[in-house]
Amino acid sequence: MTAATLIFYIGMGILGQIVLGTAYALWRRSAAIEVRGNHADPVEKIRSAGAWNGLRAFIVQRREYEDAAQSQCSFYLVPKDGVALPDFKPGQFLTFNIPISGGDGEVQQTITRCYSLSDAPDSARYRITVKRVSAPAGRPELPAGQSSNYLHEHVRVGDILQLRAPAGHFHIDAGYLTPVVLIAGGIGITPMMSMLLWCLQHQPQRAIHLYYGLRNGDEHAFKKVLMEIVLRTPHVQLTVAYSRPLESDRLNDDFQHLGHVDINLLRQTLPRGPHQFYLCGPAPMMEALVPALEQWGVPSSDIHFEAFGPASVRAPKIAANVKSAQAVDVYFARSGRTLQWSGLEGNLLDFAEKHGISVESGCRSGSCGSCVTPISSGSVTYDSPPDFDLSSGQCLLCVGKPASAVTLEA
């Protein structure tokens, strides 16, 4: 046997071992995948489901104030069961059942509230940022925000909160790479932080323009984080507008614009070309900006908004088609009462409560679904589609208005 022949046989032997080893490894992997499919662990199950049904217990892992006035507090929440969390869509919210205790420590009532997630998706924890709502200025007799004050004053690290899975139709569209414009007013910065941080992770080259309107530096949430992002990320442009700056606030250092975030500011500072717009803020800001963007020529499909409850602002084209309020009969079947709707109350929940009809409610903005009510006849309309997904034959009283004579199972 020649040396060349010997080398050939040795090479063929080595090649055969490689082929057999590869085939065995592929077989083992296939078997492992089949076993995982038949005996999936809880983590994989919840990830594949994408959410959970009903309430789930979360432990408050950490609290952190985000502004100088300590009016905006972030709560970091981890699941008590230790099972990894599913992804959510940046911009979505969590729905909480919050037990309100009296002076004796006994739970007096449980209220339902929705709070936007303020961080990018994380399989280990969620973060919400809650602004303490005080009584209106000059009206101390009016109540302060019940849930926000309870969270600020009573919820501590180690406490357990019950919440539902992330939900909501207001979220960034992951299918676009068009430059994105994020516009926040006050605590409306929370879903924008989620969108911004997600974009930096998953669309690192996407141009981002963030506009943030607030009164002054005391209320400037996430200030250090935002400044660090801008310094290290050239394609992120930040424009902060103070409407009533303090003497210590410095133009071009603490903020870039004196006044409000309005259409003139956008026209002066945004580059030409298409953009995807996402807006969240108080109703006056939204009611001015949303129609102004359409008048500027922005397609309605490129305008996405939430106004501290998505149904509190009318989409411009929908609003144009809403008929003026007409007197119609509303029959509350369970209560056995027929009442005439004039439209003065604004929504069916206020209308029912005004007439002494008790209806369960929560967020009062079309998000949580607490006031879902079956419709036996007639129909209910909305200024803009509510965030809660309704089944056929149901309506949300907190944002609904009768489109005709209607019978409600309430």
Give domain status of residue 377, yes or no.
yes
Q: What is the pLDDT of residues 362-380, one digit of tens each?
A: 888 888 888 999 999 999 9
The residue among 330, 324, 371 whose CA lies nearest residue 351 is 330
Joined together, the tokens standing for residue 358 give 């008790």
pLDDT of residue 177: 93
Query: Do 299 and 194 share a structural domain?
Result: yes
Out of 106-110, 298-302, 367-371, least confident range:
106-110
Domain boundary among 273, 308, 343: 308
Local structure of 270: helix, strand or coil? coil
Q: What is the DSSP letter of 403?
A: S
Give domain status of residue 8, yes or no.
no
Give domain status of residue 130, yes or no.
yes
pTM of the model: 0.79
Q: Which strand (E) or helix (H) includes residue 155?
A: none
Query: Do 361 and 293 share a structural domain?
Result: no
Give domain status of residue 161, yes or no.
yes
Q: What is the DSSP letter of 289?
A: H
pLDDT of residue 141: 58
Residue span of the structural domain in which 114 resides = 56-166
Taking 80 as the threshold, does the pLDDT of residue 101 lie above it?
no
Query: Do 212 and 282 share a structural domain?
Result: yes
The C-alpha atoms of residue 296 and residue 265 are separated, in whole angstroms, by 12
Domain boundary among 280, 308, 336: 308
Query: Do 389 and 294 share a structural domain?
Result: no
Joined together, the tokens standing for residue 266 give 């956008």
pLDDT of residue 362: 80
Q: What is the pLDDT of residues 39-95, one digit of tens each?
A: 333 333 333 345 798 999 999 999 999 999 999 999 999 999 999 999 999 999 999
pLDDT of residue 44: 37
pLDDT of residue 283: 86
pLDDT of residue 26: 45
Query: Do 237 and 123 share a structural domain?
Result: no
pLDDT of residue 120: 97
- Angle at alpha carbon of residue 306, lines to 224 and 230, rounded to 5°: 25
The C-alpha atoms of residue 268 and residue 259 are separated, in whole angstroms, by 14
Q: Which residues pair with 306 in a beta bridge?
A: 280
Query: Do 192 and 300 share a structural domain?
Result: yes
The residue among 179, 196, 260, 186 whose CA lies nearest residue 230 is 196
Comparison of pLDDT for 129 and 361, the residue scoring more: 129
The C-alpha atoms of residue 396 and residue 405 are separated, in whole angstroms, by 16
The C-alpha atoms of residue 78 and residue 66 are separated, in whole angstroms, by 19
CB count within 10 Å of CB 360 equals: 12
Give domain status of residue 25, yes or no.
no
Give domain status of residue 367, yes or no.
yes
Domain total in the chain: 3
Mean pLDDT (the chain, rounded): 85
Give domain status of residue 46, yes or no.
no
The C-alpha atoms of residue 65 and residue 224 are separated, in whole angstroms, by 12
The residue among 242, 384, 367, 212 whose CA lies nearest residue 303 is 384
pLDDT of residue 47: 38
**CATH number for 192:** 3.40.50.80
Query: Do 194 and 252 share a structural domain?
Result: yes
pLDDT band for 143, please (50, 70, 90 cuts).
Answer: low
The proportion of the chain whose per-residue pLDDT surpasses 70, expressed as a percent, equals 80
In contact, 330 and 405? CB cutoff 8 Å = yes
In angstroms, the Cα distances linking 282 to 65, 287, 307, 309, 390 are 21, 9, 6, 9, 25
Give domain status of residue 104, yes or no.
yes
Query: Do 285 and 200 share a structural domain?
Result: yes
Residue where the block lists tokens 């979505």: 92
Q: What is the pLDDT of residues 191-208, one digit of tens each?
A: 999 999 999 999 999 999
What lies within 8 Å, CB to CB, of 239 at 6+ separation is 209, 210, 211, 212, 256, 257, 261, 265, 269
